Chains A and B, each alone.
Chain A
Amino acid sequence: MVAPGMAQFGTWQPKSRGRLFYNWPPGACEEALRFTSAGQLGGEPYDVVIVGAGVVGCGLAHRLSMYDLRVLLVDRLHDVGEGTSKANSALIHSGYDAKPGTLESELLHEAEADWPGLAARLKIPLDPVGGIMMAVTDEQECQLEAAEKNAHANRVADVRILSADEIREREPNASSSVRGGLLVPGESLADPFMASIAFAEIALANGVDILLGVEIAGVELGQARHHLVTADGHRLPARRIVNAAGLGSRRLADGYGGGAFDINPRRGQFLLFDKSARPLVQHILLPVPTAHTKGVLVSPTIFGNLLAGPTAEDLPLDDPAATHTTVDGIRRVLEGGSRLVDGLARQPVIATYAGARCACSQGSYVIRYNDGAPGVVTLTGVRSTGLTTSISLARHLVDGMQKELGLELSPDSAALDARPESAWPGWWRRPFENGATDARADHGCAVCFCEVISEGEIRDALDSPLRPRTMDALKRRTRALTGRCQGFDCQVSLAEIVSGHTGIGIAQLTKNGPGSELVAPGQAEVPA
């Protein structure tokens, strides 16, 4: 694993030039972080407003922040990367299985070369474990050759066919029915959460404003400028608008008369196994895809767990956010995973989750400039490869906006390209490892016992530039609550630390924003 070197603890911290606000009721966060009126953002219209702070929106904000532009990143959720970007298989794809000649294939090819350098600049871990596509029937074995050809057509040259014995040598726990496979060295593990967070931290440092918890209800089109109208009636002036709203992109496009496309959300359920299961598998093990789905893969995670999934279930159009798991879906994931790996079924499962991929009726990577109105960009249909292509897609979009929208790009000489050195970059940097000698006493007080996360790390994360203020936001940054006990031991003590450090009343703390209070709402604390 590449774990970038960092500043010493307690050294930090560059001042962010951008502003960050949560659209929360009084008391739910510090008053200085609370969004109360559009006046807080300054009267001038933004050069670009990006709607949707998933990994795609954050990547674009990061790219635009390199130029002298006023940019706003806005999302209806309460942290960056909280939608589709948070529940996926967390892989950096080589693009071996893309459809050759498509924009997706092109962006994947570009991104593959970018990622090692990008991970270093974002200061996030990347683990190039490689993948093996495993054929477990004769029929699947016949498909390997075509898959290899397809990979070469996508300019993924290092892909080659392995015999069953070669696979068993690399993967002793591979299913006994394995017939052969395809080695894909370019597949890597990444942290899906920290990619969005790191992009957004750089963007914020460079002056991008970030507005969270703001639902865009409509768009008022104008001549020189448009206005995004929030569900609370605030008007956000924008010269250009980028619709990167993922599953919500259709509804937003209706507001500005965007062209025809439909979102067909497709749910994927996943199983997460305990760390004791990690040694079972060395590579990302992929099934041979069918016409309908890429199938259930079994993969290590960058966090040291083992992951199996996803299912592929079409969701009703009216409920694109139905990201719940089902007993039946979990059983199917386990069956699918067991076809690739022996002994998977006896490994302890610690969590199940589901995400919805943003499948679009018009194909993948639909980009439309001046869609419905001048200055409006629609971007949709970014499905499984959004994390990988976040870097190349941002470049592609900025080029397109320059050409098609007349966006003037003059580089901002003060802009950071890399994430600032920080006392607390993320969960992988442990206070007592890698020679850090200046850890504080509270770095030695574990609060999450499963993942061994200390009180000090929680406080450091709370002070990080994006000011995470929900339990889920904290979880994604620190790994607290993600272990085998799923918050049994630490939920209450974690809430006590957050409340103590931020001054937010403990009864006001939420899992993921207003409406998700940890205790029954409308109570005042009566300390023991």
Chain B
Amino acid sequence: MSDAQHFKVVIIGGGPAGIGAAVGLAKRGVGPVVLIERRAELGGTPMGYRKKPGGVPTFVEWTRGRVVFGEELAGRMAKRLAKTDTAIRLGTQVTKIDPAEKRLTLLGPDGVRELTADAAVLAAGAREQTPAEKGWLAGARTARVGFTRHVTGWLDRHGLLPARKPVVVGSDLIAYSAAAKLRAAGSDEPVMIDRRQSPSAGFFERLFFWRWTRPDWSGGVTAAGMKGDRAATGVQSSDGKEWPGDGVMVCGELVPNSELALLGGLAVELPSRQLQLARGQAMSEPGWFAAGNVLGGFHGAQWCYFNGRRLAKRIATFLE
């Protein structure tokens, strides 16, 4: 298509990192900038954690030294973005990238479009590892095997409990927040299992969730399978130990959403899907940058936001 719109910078992802990058670029007077978000609203992962009376606030706003709901934090970031001149495309997904030409193919409400840019930021965030990716978790493919994203979706958008007797697989901060949300919404005390000997969430992190949940912990599970015929009835280890329940939540252990880079031919390490960075946050093709949780690891919303903002300086230098 010859009518591809051209921008100075294109940002893929409207979560904290993408918003941070857009705000940072606006502060430096770089423009025009376009931000592309595949969901219908800005805010990314934290936006899924709705503010609810009696709910569990799981996000830390370090700058104000307090604990908040993800929705509040993401909402404040989106407001800051609204004050800039950034063009925003909601409900629009980048389906293909041509890294050398910095040409993007988009699918949105107005159909398939293309755009080009001088620089691109991948701020696509991360998702939770699937059972198949974990490698030590197999078993039946039943209903009610879900992720933390489903816990927040069912609870915060529909007031529905994904399980009354949940088995949480994973033990990091995200797993604890899922357990706390389930318990606060009226589930039984969750059973928590992981491959690690002791929970990967630290002492103070566990202490924070103590008010809501004290999961029934089992560590050192090296091979296990989901049980159940139609819906999950628990998890069983290969040595015969069983953790009964009526739903299994596979939580935490994030995987970067690096597929655009992978399928576009940018350097990505397999099978971990980690971006192979040239230097700092620059990807293998000049003019391509990454920000936020797509870089790997798992960071809070504010870390991602400031990571995006700091990246703006790097991009401005590149554009000069």
Residues of A within 8 A of B (CB): 271-272, 274-276, 321, 323-330, 346-353, 432, 439, 441, 443-446, 449-450, 452, 454, 484-489, 491-493, 496, 506-507, 510-520, 523, 525-528
In the complex, what residues of B have CB within 8 A of residue A325's CB? Answer: 138-139, 225
Q: List 23 A-B contacts (CB under 8 A).
A: A276-B262, A321-B229, A324-B138, A324-B141, A325-B139, A325-B225, A327-B225, A330-B135, A350-B130, A352-B132, A432-B112, A439-B111, A444-B107, A446-B38, A446-B107, A484-B130, A488-B150, A507-B158, A511-B142, A516-B231, A518-B162, A520-B163, A520-B246
Could you tell me the distance in whole angstroms from the C-beta of A523 to the nearest C-beta in chain B? 5
Closest residue of chain B to A432 (Cβ to Cβ) is B112
Q: Is the CB of A485 within 8 A of B108?
A: no
Cβ B159 vs Cβ A527 within 8 A: yes
B207 at the binding interface (Cβ < 8 Å)? no
> Chain B residues near A351 (CB, 8 Å)?
130, 132
Q: Does B144 contact A (CB under 8 A)?
A: yes
Partner of B109, one of A445, A449, A487: A445
Distance in angstroms from B209 CB to nearest chain A CB is 22
Question: In whole angstroms, what is the CA distance A274 to B273 when docked?
Answer: 11
Q: Does B79 contact A (CB under 8 A)?
A: no
Closest 7 CB pairs of A and B: A526-B159, A492-B153, A511-B143, A516-B143, A515-B230, A324-B140, A516-B230
For the complex, count residues of B whose C-beta is within 8 A of A.
60
Also in contact, A346 and B270, with CB within 8 A (given A441-B109, A525-B158):
yes
* CA of A323 to CA of B140, assembled, Å: 7
A517 with B143, Cβ < 8 A, contacts A276-B263, A330-B138, A444-B111 known: yes
Contact indicator A528/B158 (Cβ below 8 Å): yes
A326 and B137 CA atoms in complex are apart in Å by: 8
Q: CA of A432 to CA of B259 in the docked complex: distance in angstroms?
A: 21
A-B pair count, CB < 8 Å, reads 174
A511–B95 CA distance with the chains assembled, in angstroms: 28
Q: Which chain B positions have C-beta within 8 A of A513?
A: 230
In the complex the two chains form, is A518's CB within 8 Å of B159's CB? Answer: no
How far does the alpha carbon of A476 sit from the alpha carbon of B277 in the complex, in Å? 37
Expressed in whole angstroms, the minimum distance between the Cβ of B27 and any Cβ of chain A is: 30
Having A347-B270, A489-B127, A514-B230, one finds 4 other A-B pairs with CB under 8 Å, namely A276-B262, A492-B150, A492-B158, A496-B157
> Contact at A488–B149, with CB atoms within 8 Å?
yes
Shortest Cβ distance from A334 into chain B, in angstroms? Answer: 10
User: Once the chains bind, are A349 and B154 in contact (CB under 8 Å)?
Assistant: no
For B259, the closest partner residue in chain A by CB is A484
The residue in A350, A484, A526 that gathers the most chain B C-beta atoms within 10 A of its C-beta is A484
* Contact between A506 and B111, CB atoms less than 8 A apart: no
Find chain B residues with CB under 8 A from A444 CB. 91, 107-112
Residues A348 and B271 in contact, CB atoms below 8 Å apart? yes
- Which residue of B is nearest A499, CB measured? B158
CA–CA, A352 to B133, complex, Å? Answer: 10
Question: In the complex, how many angstroms separate the beta carbon of A501 from the nearest chain B beta carbon?
Answer: 16
List B contacts of A484 (CB < 8 A).
130, 259
Cβ-defined contact, A523 with B160, below 8 A: yes
Given known contacts A348-B270, A484-B259, is B231 in contact with A517 (CB within 8 Å)? yes
Report the minimal beta-carbon distance from B274 to chain A, rounded to whole angstroms. Answer: 11
Q: Is B6 an interface residue (CB 8 A)?
A: no
Chain B residue with the shortest CB-CB distance to A442: B109
Main SS of the interface on chain A? loop
Smallest CB–CB gap between A463 and chain B, Å?
21
- Which of A326, A328, A489, A520 has the most CB atoms of chain B within a 10 A radius of its CB? A520
Contacts of A326 in B (CB 8 A): 138-139, 225, 238
- B105-123 toward A: CB 8 Å interface, digit per residue (1/0)? 0011111100000000000
Interfacial chain A residues near B91, Cβ < 8 Å = 444-446
Contact A491 B138 (CB under 8 A): no
**Is residue B93 within 8 Å, beta carbon to beta carbon, of the partner chain?**
yes
Closest beta carbon of chain B to A25's beta carbon, Å: 14
Contact B164 A520 (CB under 8 A): yes
Chain B residue nearest to A441 in the complex (CB): B109
Bound Cα distance A324, B142 (Å): 9
Question: Smallest CB-CB separation from A525: which chain B residue?
Answer: B158
Can you name the residue of chain B whose Cβ is closest to the Cβ of A470? B143
Q: Which residues of B contact A519 (CB under 8 A)?
A: 144, 154, 158, 160-163
In the complex, what's the smallest C-beta–C-beta distance from B82 to chain A, in angstroms? Answer: 22
- Contact digits for B230-250, partner A, Cβ 8 Å, 1 yes 0 no: 110000001000000011000
Q: Contact at B226–A506, with CB atoms within 8 Å?
A: no
Pick the contact of A507 from B137, B141, B156, B160 — CB < 8 Å? B160
Q: Across the interface, which residues of A come within 8 angstroms of B224, CB to CB?
A: 327
B160–A512 touching, CB < 8 Å = no
User: Is B146 in contact with chain A by the CB < 8 A criterion?
Assistant: yes
Partner of B133, one of A348, A493, A528: A348
Do A275 and B263 touch (CB < 8 A)?
yes
Question: Given A346-B270, A528-B157: A485 and B130 within 8 A (CB)?
Answer: yes
- Counting CB contacts under 8 A, is B50 at the interface? yes
Asked if A486 and B247 make an inter-chain contact with CB atoms under 8 angstroms apart, the answer reads no
B147 at the interface (CB under 8 A from A): yes
| Chain A residue with Cβ nearest B268 | A276
Give Cα distance in the complex from A64 to B173, angstroms.
59
Q: Could you tell me the distance between the alpha carbons of A353 and B223 in the complex, rounded to whole angstroms?
A: 17
Using known A-B contacts A439-B111, A491-B153, A518-B143, determine if residue A525 contacts B132 with beta carbons closer than 8 Å. no
B136 within 8 A of A: yes
Interface residues of B in 202-239 (CB under 8 A from A): 223-226, 229-231, 238
Among B91, B136, B137, which residue has the most Cβ atoms of chain A within 10 A? B91
Q: Is there an interface contact between A527 and B158, defined as CB atoms closer than 8 Å?
A: yes
**Interface residue B128 (Cβ < 8 Å from any Cβ of A):** yes
- Bound CA span A363–B146, Å: 41
The answer to whether B128 touches A525, judged by C-beta atoms less than 8 angstroms apart, is no
A511 to B109, CA, bound (A): 29
Decide yes or no: A488 and B231 within 8 Å by CB, A347-B271, A444-B110, A523-B161 being known contacts.
Answer: no
Distance from B256 Cβ to chain A, minimum over Cβ atoms (Å): 12
Closest to A485 in B: B127
B52 / chain A contacts, CB cutoff of 8 Å:
528
